[in-house]
Amino acid sequence: MSASVSPVAKAVYLCDGTLGIPHQKTDLMGLFNAIRPPKYPHILPSFVVFAQMNGGLGQMSVYADIRMAKTGELLYTTEPKTIHFPTRHRVVQYAYTITQCRFPQKGLYLVELFCRGQWIADTALELL
């Protein structure tokens, strides 16, 4: 059995999309941390959760949850994505496109990143 070590997230971003050359560079388009929907409930057609992680070792499952900050209510969870960390020093990127996420009311929401079922980072999304 090979050893695995959970990573730490260097940063978690929300954006409209990504462009990139695998294993070389990634461009994030339309970074945001707040939106002003015209009405509630609001369904956001799509957005990307993007993170850079390092310090991990081995192959592991990563996923993201979206929760209402005030109540902790889970609104959305992504399918787990398998990420491979060949060395502890390699920066590995995670990008997941979330579609049709429903936000019931204005307020603060947390987009939380998990690795092997344990929280490693989050970022806030404010709906105004």
* CATH architecture of the domain formed by 8-127: Sandwich (2.60)
* DSSP string for 72-109: --EEEEPPPEEEEESSTT--EEEEEEEEEEEE-SSEEE
64 Cα distance to chain centroid? 5
Tell me the pLDDT tens digit for each residue of 69-128.
999 999 999 999 999 999 999 999 999 999 999 999 999 999 999 999 999 999 999 999
Torsions phi, psi for 10 (to 5 deg): -75, -35
Tell me the pLDDT tens digit for each residue of 40-55.
999 999 999 999 999 9
Closest CA to 128 of 103, 101, 107, 100: 107
Look-up: residue for tokens 């209510």? 73
Domain boundaries, the chain: 8-127
